[in-house]
Structure formats: structure tokens, C-alpha cells
Amino acid sequence: MKEIKFVIIMVILLAVWSCKKSEESNKVFIVFSYHQEYAWVESLSEGIDESFEGQDVVVEKFYMDTKRKTSLEWKTTITDSAMLRIESYNPDLLIVIDDNACELIGKQFIGDDLPVVFTGMNKEPSFYGFPTTNITGCIERVSYTGMIEFLKELLPDVEKVAFISDDSPTAQGVLEELDRANLSVEVTETFATNDYGLWKAKVTELQDKVDAIGILVYNTLLDVDTNESLIPSDVMQWTTENNNLPEFCSFDFGVIDGALCGVFKSGSTQGAAAVAIALRILDGEDPADIAVENPHQSSKIINRPRADYFGITIPENSGWIIVE
């Protein structure tokens, strides 16, 4: 009987300590634009979790799932849900990740007392009215020059390329950046659509027009007949099976899904950079005094089966990330 009473007392004391710890710790609320299982989100979470480890911070995460669910109705519903959760949680700092969260959530806190850190932003911060007195963060920029250099390292004869993408907010920012890029190849066209039928038609059309296809993002493609979202890996599978041209990508998941090669900035890097800024703010630094950052670390990645298809030999000790 005494042992039972002891256990009950210890449970109560632990609960009281946990509540007190939560009250004393800094509370951070994180809004992800997409779903938890999305490869980019998993990488971001890894960088965030590792960077917060050992810090006196309690974190709550919210996933808007706007990559799979793209309707205005869903965005309105999930935005309302996120705002209610933020109000209930009453955080000391808010982190918004990727463009949809910046647009739908971050903008609502312009001029607010709550400090906000953004990361994974593809559009220019000024598009959302950032930075402000309480909002700063990290932009994400595609290494177009690096992608082309890596592609030509593998296939020196590439001279003409086309870029294809879905027509998401992420893609719009990525394509705006492409317009400003000075590349060593001729870009014959850029094409963006959320219509899977048009995507397939464009891949077929490009076969005798260019030497390679740049695939940017392909996560919001729809079967317009059913209005159902396509699974991105299925899109890439169809693309590689029906494309005889080398593909190069701006995200690692494109190569993981089957494309030839890419140069990418990891979500982990973006997550860690956002946490570094968040900790500076929680330590007392004014967001207005923290400049918007652009983490530059990038990596080369290549898909071995696709490389074999194009007769490309991967050197030993290349330092590249190799997808088997």
C-alpha cells in the first residue's frame, strides 16, 4: 500500500514539475505549409529538432497540408484552424515555413507583438510585406548555376534546356528566380501547369526540341477529370519512363523519385538557420536588427539507375549523394 502511495505521489510531482517547466520554458509554435510525411518537411523537421535539442524551448508543430490539398476552401479552413491553435498555445515566437504559411499565417502578424521567423521562402520577402519590426527569417534560393554546371559535368554536350513545373506558389517563386539567372545554356522555354494531362503532353513535345529537361516542382499536379491530386513519385515515374532526355532538379526528392541529377539546398539547413534566428530573438535580440538570411550550403545528388541509362559513370569518392 505504501508503494502505491509513493508511486501516486511521484506521478503527481512529475506532472506538477512538467507544468512548471512548460510555463518557464520559451514556447515556439511552428506552422508547416505542407504535410508531415513530405520529404522536404521531414528534412526541415530534422534540422529544427536537432537545433532545438538541449534548449529551454517547448515546441508545437502544425501542418497545413496545402501541397496535397490546394483548394481555396481548404486553405481557408486550415488557416482558421492554425490561427485558433496559435491563440490557444500563446507562443513566445512563431515560425512559418514555406510560402503558403508565410502568405496565410505570417502576414496576419505584421506589426504584432509576437516575433515571427520565416524560412523556406521562394518568393521575395517584400511580396509578403516582410521583413518588419517583428518578422525576419531565411529565404530559399535554387542554385540554377550549380544545376547547369553539374549537368554539363555529366553531359558536356547539353546546350538547350527547358524547365517544367507545377503552378504552385513555390513554383512561382522558383520561376521568378529563374528569370533572373544567367545560365551557360539556352533556355528555350519554361512551362508551369497543375494539369497532369498538359504536363505529360509537354514532356512528349520536348523530346526533339531540347537536350535536357529541368524539373522544378511537381507536387500540385491534378487529374482534371477527377480533380484528384497526383502522388508526386507517380508523376516522376511516368516522366522518367516516357522521357529520353536527362532530367535535372532543384530538390533532392526529384532525384530520389527517379530523375538523373540535381543540386539542392537541404530542408535541414533551412530549418537549422531558422532556429538559429529564433534563439537569438528568444535571447533578447530585436527581430528588426536581424537581417534576412540566405543559407548557401548545397549538395550534388545523382540517381545511379538513371545515370546507367544515359551511360554516365559515377566516379569513386565523388562526394556526391548517390541514389541507388
Q: Is residue 20 part of a domain?
A: no
Distance between CA atoms of 255 and 248, rounded to whole angstroms? Answer: 8
CA nearest neighbour of 97 among 30, 48, 52:
30
Strands of the sheet containing 93-97, edge to edge, are: 57-63, 26-32, 93-97, 116-121, 135-139
Give a yes or no: residue 14 inside a domain: no
Distance of CA 86 to the CA centre of its chain: 22
17 assigned to some structural domain: no
Count of structural domains within the chain: 2
Q: What's the domain range around 152?
A: 144-264+300-323
Q: What does the pLDDT look like over 171-219, one tens digit per residue?
A: 988 898 898 889 999 999 999 999 999 999 999 999 999 999 999 999 9
Inter-residue contact 129 to 102 (CB < 8 Å): no
18 pLDDT exceeds 50? no
Let me know whether 92 and 124 are in one domain: yes
The upper half-sphere exposure of residue 277, i.e. CA atoms within 13 Å in the direction of its Cβ, equals 30
Domain shared by 248 and 101, yes or no: no
Give the separation between CA 26 and CA 58, rounded to whole angstroms: 6
pLDDT for 222-237, tens place per residue? 998 898 899 999 999 9
Q: Per the domain annotation, does 10 fall within a domain?
A: no
Neighbours of 233 (CB within 10 A): 14
User: Is the pLDDT reported for residue 132 higher than 50?
Assistant: yes
The answer on 246 and 160 residing in a single domain is yes
DSSP per residue, 21-50: HHHHSEEEEEEESS-TTSHHHHHHHHHHHH
Residues 66 and 127 in one domain: yes
Domain assignment present for 234: yes
Q: What is the CATH number of the domain that holds 59?
A: 3.40.50.2300
Same domain, 113 and 235: no
Q: What is the mean pLDDT of the chain?
A: 91
